[in-house]
Chains A and B, each alone.
Chain A
Amino acid sequence: MGRSKAKSKGRPTAAKIEELAASVVELAAKRREPSMGIPLRTLSNAKYNKTKRIIEMGAARQDREFFKLGMAKSFMQTMLIASGCKQLIDEGKSVSIRGLYYRTKHTIAGTQEKTFNDQQESDPIIEDLEVAIGALREELHVFASTRGTIVGNLTIVSQGDTIDLRRMGAGGFGIPSICEPDVLGFKKCEADFVLHVEKDTVWQRFNEDKFWKKHNCVLTHGNGQPPRGVRRLLYRLHEELKLPVYVLLDNDPWGYYIYSVIKQGSINLAFESKRMAVPDAKFIGVRSGDFEQFKLPDDVKIGVDDKDVKRAKQILDYPWFEGKKEWKKEVDTMLKHGFKMEVESMMTKSISFVTETYLPHKLKHPGEWLD
């Protein structure tokens, strides 16, 4: 991220962190128990905004109190992360969440105890801090590892380099975890839409077949559930370049949920939905009906197990799936069939069936999409 810009952007965040420390000092001086309000990142506190069609974080907060046995450590950890971020802002540098974990991990004086045992302990604390002070991750000068890839009829500028995404060979361009305009700017776009696929293997097929060239699009994948960077990029492609976003996912509960995250946002990062969710995204496949429609062989079937059934019902219960009859029908059909299908399974027909037959058909028939 451009340093000068980040620095100016970092000031209000730094002030918020300072406030946090100041409140601890102040309360302690009054001999009151220090605490901080952390908005809850739970389903119960994830509200679906029907007008905006995105998931928003509710007002519920949990007081993280230092003098509660179960919270003392996480309170201490939050303060450590805050001080780590403050230091990054002051120095105008950014580190990965893993880097921050190492920056804040040490043995507590006089004990054998570590401030953090592993990164899985520090990652949620970073998210806690984001929501607690209402700062974005990049404003805290923290990023996650690069995940997801992009390729297509688009030219971008990243850290001063102009990159033509048509000339990325077999690898594509790794989507950085922070996709703010100062990290990744759009220079020239000739694409008509964005095709987002679930994972790398499918993306490779589409890239090798130069699908994006033939159909004039941008091709992305997010390695399963897309990380923030990918979602932020999809959002910006849609908002800034006005590209429609089509999503090709497996026909299973996992795929349904990935679609829902891209479209409405996630429960955990509900506070980020407004800058990540793409409510207009369309689910282009794979659909349960495709099995008959495309006369797929029985070999594509993967049996549905108890976990799938449970998860499918859970998904249908989410408020944002409420009233979506088509979706309910889709899930019910999958459960009725008793099998699920992966995008890759299309290859049983022929290697490029999905890029040459399936998707072109789907693109021509918006009626077969799901919203």
Chain B
Amino acid sequence: MAATKEKPLSKNRNIKSQMMLDFPGKRAPAPTPVSTKQPTPAPKLEKTPEKPRKSATKTFATAESLSKGQREISVSEFFAKNRHLLGFDNKRKALLTTVKEAVDNSLDACEEAGILPDIFVQVEQVEEERFRVIVRDNGPGIVKQQIPNIFGKLLYGSKFHRLRMSRGQQGIGISAAGMYGLLTTGKSLKVISRTGAKKPAHAFEIQIDTKKNEPTIVKDDTVDVEWPHGTQVEIELVASYAKGRQSVDEYVELTAIANPHARFEFVGPAGDRAEFPRTVNELPEQPHEIKPHPHGIELGVLIRLLQETKSHWLTGFLHSEFCRVGPQAAEEICKLAKLNTRANPRRIAKHEAETLYKAIQQTKLMAPPTNCLVPIGAQQILSGLLKGVKAEFYTASTRPPAVYRGNPFEIEVGLAFGGDLGPAPADENAPPAPPNEKQESVQAKIIRFANRVPLQYQQSACCIYKSVLDTDWRRYGIAQPGGGIPAAPMVVMVHMASVWVPFTSESKEAIADYDEIRKEIKLAMQDCGRKLQAFINRRKKQRYEGERRSIFERYIGEVVMACNSIKRVNQSKLEKDLLAIAKRVTARADEQLDDSGKVIKGKKKGDTPESEFGENTVVVERPPADAPTAQAKLIDD
């Protein structure tokens, strides 16, 4: 619920316009759109010329009639035709997208206001195919005047080229969800927001005037609510609900993993309630905004920047619009492009932009600054995994920042292994796995995140998925049939933090396969793999000792009987003696061993020292499934 969108320039809106602007050319993952102007609904009108071409063919329209037709195209028409681009391809996904937009906004709002998020999500079934989504946060609330704008306007002005790490890259915003609801059910979007305990809570019912792209306030009221501040959004929509992969349940669960600083409560259509407690009491740092790095931009963007700049000289333009371009580098670029350092940027935009672009690409520049990245953090990943996945072994690894095409990014990998990890940990439809059975045939589950937002679709197109396949898991004692997905009771979590996550398509569900990104993911996974291997080896050793004892114990009875049949002996004494020896011989099964196989004294089971498997590792002793309160001990860094 686009709670904190008090400032009119919220990222939420960036996205909308970006979606819109990207559309005409369908030029998929281009990090930056082609057009330059963004304020207000205008962009839509600028764009349309391309569209009517098709419809015009048979009427031989004149330019005049064309331009008339262009104006007729409304937001709602665009929306209806392009649902799939906006995450509303099918009924099930529509439900997910709606929840997602609301939750993303809530998280952003809380974080920007410095509040630890406390988010309530409810999916209510109204009719067979009609659901009501309610999302409530404890954010700062929204001032009354802004509420209609935030929830009732699509493609509201933006500064979408802002390079800042944000969730907002996903989806298109809550107002689109509200419009989907309106289009499918005719019901208004309902918002209740309260900015403080002493202030009243405002309740709005808003509809989007699809022709004008303006909010229509159906109802404006004050209501009594028990919460001091926050925002609640309610949208009714035609949708379908099913658990399992790509479900709302999975989304909440995954979001909880990537946001351990937030508390989530989810109530499903059947009234089933799931709570994901907060495990980290610290807000993530607010990411810094950076200027684009010259190596990461495209020609169109360069042209736009040249046109818009306030600089009068070319060198000044280069220096002020980009990061990592000092006066010296700027001169170098000009020299290479054979352009006057004092040339007018606006003039260059028209004539020599391409020459300049090539020169920029050829000039060596420092990599972009990486302080704009806010990773989740290894410890936080561990907390998140501990909360969301019932495993036995947890480890995490954070890579130092790296750069692809001028965009800084950072990869983090978390790994959970063993324990109750059944066929698919997030899949509640799957039968619960018997705790002690061998689960080697189970496939690892890959969970993907970009800027803390779970990616639930198009797994196989994603760089993360390819990196998992590309890693040789056999080296770490994990089966990998046919070089595919590792076969182990394991969850691999990969998070990419970046100012610009390169998605493969508009639907923003898979990360593009850049070598630099893949390399980082693999390195992080290998690090986790090594730690996992230490754990597996250790567990094998224990199991081996355990097996040894059970073999001895099994045979002791036979040996005692044989001895007794040969020669009368004191059977119980012999058995006791042999059992005592068996226990002594296999005593290692009860001991804690360090990496070099030495016995660690004075440690109880589960009290695993960090040095044992590497840093950022947690081992949880899970007594067979029915004991949910497993004791976990987080190792301090």
Contacts and interface: CB of A to CB of B under 8 A. Distances in A.
Q: Do A and B bind each other?
A: yes
Interface of A: 17-18, 20-22, 24-25, 28-29, 31-34, 66-67, 69, 72-73, 75-76, 79-80, 82-83, 86-87, 108-111, 113, 115
Contact of A72 (B555, B573, B577): B555
A21 B585 CA distance: 21
Contacts of A66: 552, 555, 559, 578
A141 to B, nearest CB: 14
Given A28-B581, A31-B581, A86 B565 contact: yes
A71 to B, nearest CB: 10
Contact of A109 (B557, B565, B567, B577): B557
Contact of A20 (B551, B566, B569): B566
Contacts of A29: 573-574, 577
14 contacts: A21-B562, A21-B567, A25-B563, A25-B570, A28-B574, A28-B578, A29-B573, A34-B559, A69-B548, A72-B555, A76-B555, A79-B559, A83-B561, A83-B565
B554 to A, nearest CB: 6
B546 to A, nearest CB: 12
Interface in B561-592: 561-563, 565-567, 569-570, 573-574, 577-578, 580-582, 584-585
A34 B548 CA distance: 16
A165 B404 CA distance: 96
Contact of A18 (B552, B566, B574, B578): B566
B72 to A, nearest CB: 78
Contacts of B552: 66-67, 72
Q: Across chains A and B, which 8 residue pairs bring their CB atoms closest together, nearest first?
A: A28-B577, A79-B562, A21-B566, A83-B562, A76-B555, A83-B565, A21-B563, A67-B585
B558 interface: yes
Interface string B252-272: 000000000000000000000
B559 to A, nearest CB: 5
Contacts of B555: 66, 72-73, 75-76, 108
Contacts of A25: 563, 569-570, 574
B562 A80 contact: yes
A115 B558 contact: yes
Interface centre among A33, A69, A86 (most CB of B within 10 A): A69
Contacts of A31: 577, 580-581, 584
A128 to B, nearest CB: 14
Nearest to B577: A28
A20 B410 CA distance: 69
Nearest to A30: B577
A115 B561 CA distance: 13
Contacts of A82: 562, 566
Given A21-B567, A29-B577, A33-B581, 14 more contacts: A18-B567, A21-B562, A21-B563, A22-B567, A24-B559, A29-B573, A66-B555, A67-B585, A73-B551, A73-B555, A76-B562, A79-B559, A79-B563, A87-B565
A34 B558 CA distance: 14
A82 to B, nearest CB: 6
A21 to B, nearest CB: 4
A183 B574 CA distance: 40
A38 B290 CA distance: 79
A20 to B, nearest CB: 7
Contacts of A73: 551, 555
A367 to B, nearest CB: 57
Contacts of B581: 28, 31-33, 67
Contacts of A18: 566-567
A306 B557 CA distance: 49
B426 to A, nearest CB: 36
A87 B564 CA distance: 11
A17 B557 contact: no
A228 to B, nearest CB: 25
A261 B3 CA distance: 95
Contacts of B548: 69
Contacts of B578: 28, 34, 66
Interface in B534-550: 547-548
A110 B556 CA distance: 12
Contact of A108 (B558, B565, B567, B573): B558
B554 A113 contact: yes
Contacts of B569: 21, 25
Contacts of A83: 561-563, 565-566
Nearest to B555: A76
A24 B569 CA distance: 10
Contact of A80 (B558, B567, B580, B585): B558
Contacts of B573: 29
Contacts of A75: 555, 559
Contacts of A22: 567
Contact of A17 (B566, B570, B577): B566
Contacts of A115: 558
B557 A67 contact: no
B543 to A, nearest CB: 13
Contact of B582 (A17, A20, A67, A76): A67
A206 to B, nearest CB: 47
A25 B551 CA distance: 19
A276 B59 CA distance: 112
Interface centre among B552, B554, B559, B577 (most CB of A within 10 A): B559
A76 B558 contact: yes
Interface centre among A28, A82, A86 (most CB of B within 10 A): A28
Contacts of A109: 557
A177 B581 CA distance: 41
Interface centre among B558, B570, B582 (most CB of A within 10 A): B558
A28 B552 CA distance: 13
Nearest to A24: B563
A87 to B, nearest CB: 7
B31 to A, nearest CB: 60
Interface centre among B547, B548, B577 (most CB of A within 10 A): B577
Nearest to A28: B577
B579 to A, nearest CB: 10
Contacts of A69: 547-548, 551
Interface centre among B548, B554, B555 (most CB of A within 10 A): B555
Nearest to B585: A67
A25 B563 CA distance: 8
B575 to A, nearest CB: 9
A17 B566 CA distance: 7
Interface centre among B548, B561, B567 (most CB of A within 10 A): B567
A44 B566 CA distance: 33
A175 to B, nearest CB: 32
A67 B562 CA distance: 17
B17 to A, nearest CB: 69
Nearest to A20: B566
A255 to B, nearest CB: 42
A73 B553 CA distance: 11
Contacts of B582: 67
A82 B559 CA distance: 11
Contact of B557 (A32, A87, A108): A108
B544 to A, nearest CB: 8
A26 to B, nearest CB: 10
Contacts of A20: 566
A83 B580 CA distance: 24
Nearest to A104: B562
Interface centre among A17, A21, A86 (most CB of B within 10 A): A21
A76 B561 CA distance: 10
B549 to A, nearest CB: 10
Nearest to B566: A21
A8 to B, nearest CB: 20
Contacts of A80: 558, 562
B521 to A, nearest CB: 41
Interface in B445-479: none
Nearest to B584: A31
A29 B573 CA distance: 8
Contacts of B547: 69
Interface centre among A72, A75, A108 (most CB of B within 10 A): A72
